[in-house]
Structure 1
Amino acid sequence: MNMATAVKVCLLEKYATFSGRASRPEYWWFALAYVIGAVIVSLLSIRFLYVIYTLALIVPAAAVGYRRLQDTGRNGWLIFIPIGLGLISLFLAPSAPVMQDGQVTQMPDMGGMGLLAAFSIVQLIVGLVFLWWLTRPSQPEGTQ
């Protein structure tokens, strides 16, 4: 399977299919295409376009992750743990410093920044565990 085939399968054939299995090439080619697209959209510096891109691809990205975990013999619903942690971190992120006349007038709350730092360590550990799981070979007796 190549990148074009993986993107076609994930976007056109199995956009919101949360059953079955996804092979390693299917998952990783789609993940690479997703990252390349995100970089290109972010380089355009149009925040609204980036939000639309992310919202349009969150369902197929979750679906292919779900199917990949199924293929490794794990429960596919586990893919929503890192997705949920990412969404929670959006709400924990402190506001940016307030600038007025070239001077910083208000800094973000340090307690919020400390909480975000601790939460980021948890996200890193969870991300590494999921990276390990998603790279494992297929299991013939996988959960479905």
Structure 2
Amino acid sequence: MTFSNAIISGFRNAFTFKGRARRPEYWWFFLFVFGGAFLLGLLEMAIFGSGRGALVALFQLAVFIPFLAVGWRRLQDTGRPGWWLLIPSGIVVVSTLMSGSLTRAMFAGGIGGIGQSGGVFSGSNVAVDVSITTFVALGVAQLCAGMVIVWWMSRPSQRGANAYGPEPRVR
């Protein structure tokens, strides 16, 4: 599959989460998405003098569902359910929610007990320590989950038919 064929296929099958996608289809579309965002970011910096991010955000919004769909089908091509692709995104959501509670805990108890009569071992500092530890653990979990997803995406197609359809390989 060529670069242009992968882009056409990605948009043509934008809402197709059934079936399978081979490695070239996924990785060429991946290059298109990240290369397009990079080039639009450079264009914004050249035009506006700083990266406002509006063009990149619009581009990413336009390609989000097609990119999710081709990734979903790619995982299915390796014999894994596509919803595994949502795990790193779920960790981002949990991390975002945690960062809000971390910020509240830090403001409630002061950072490191500064200005607090309770000192370093006050209850609010324990909450901050637990939140920071959880936040770091979620970051490590996201890194590990992302690495596993990239590993799976790079694996060869499962030979023959699997639970998600026939092998898309053209022989």
Shared fold per TM-score greater than 0.5: yes
Give the superposition deviation at 1:76. Answer: 1.4
The residue number in structure 1 matching 2:139 is 120
The residue number in structure 2 matching 1:6 is 6
CA separation of 1:115/1:53 partners in 2, compared to 1, >3 Å: closer, same or farther? Answer: farther
Query: Of Structure 1 and Structure 2, which has the larger fraction of its residues in strand?
Result: 1
CA RMSD across the alignment: 2.4
The residue number in structure 1 matching 2:74 is 68
The residue number in structure 1 matching 2:169 is none
The residue number in structure 1 matching 2:163 is 143
Instruction: Give the greater-gyration-radius structure (CA).
Output: 2
> Which amino acid in structure 2 is aligned with residue 73 of structure 1?
G
Give the superposition deviation at 1:53. Answer: 1.8
Q: What are the equivalent positions in structure 2 for 1:1-144 lying under 5 Å apart?
A: 1-11=1-11, 13-43=12-42, 44=44, 45-92=51-98, 115-139=134-158, 140-144=160-164
Structure 2 alignment gaps of length 5 or more:
45-50, 101-110, 112-127, 165-171
> Identity percentage over the alignment?
39
Secondary structure of 1:16 counterpart = coil
TM-score under structure 2 length normalisation: 0.66
Which region of structure 1 is more displaced relative to structure 2, 13-22 or 51-60? 51-60
Q: Distance in 1 between the 2:52 and 2:23 partners? A: 32
Which region of structure 1 is more displaced relative to structure 2, 13-22 or 85-94? 85-94
Secondary structure of 2:80 counterpart = coil
> Which amino acid in structure 1 is aligned with residue 14 of structure 2?
Y
CA separation of 1:7/1:79 partners in 2, compared to 1, >3 Å: closer, same or farther? Answer: same
Runs of 4+ in structure 1 deviating by more than 6 angstroms, as ranges, are none
Structure 1 alignment gaps of length 5 or more:
95-106
The residue number in structure 2 matching 1:102 is none
Give the superposition deviation at 1:75. Answer: 0.9
Q: Distance in 2 between the 1:48 and 1:90 partners? A: 22
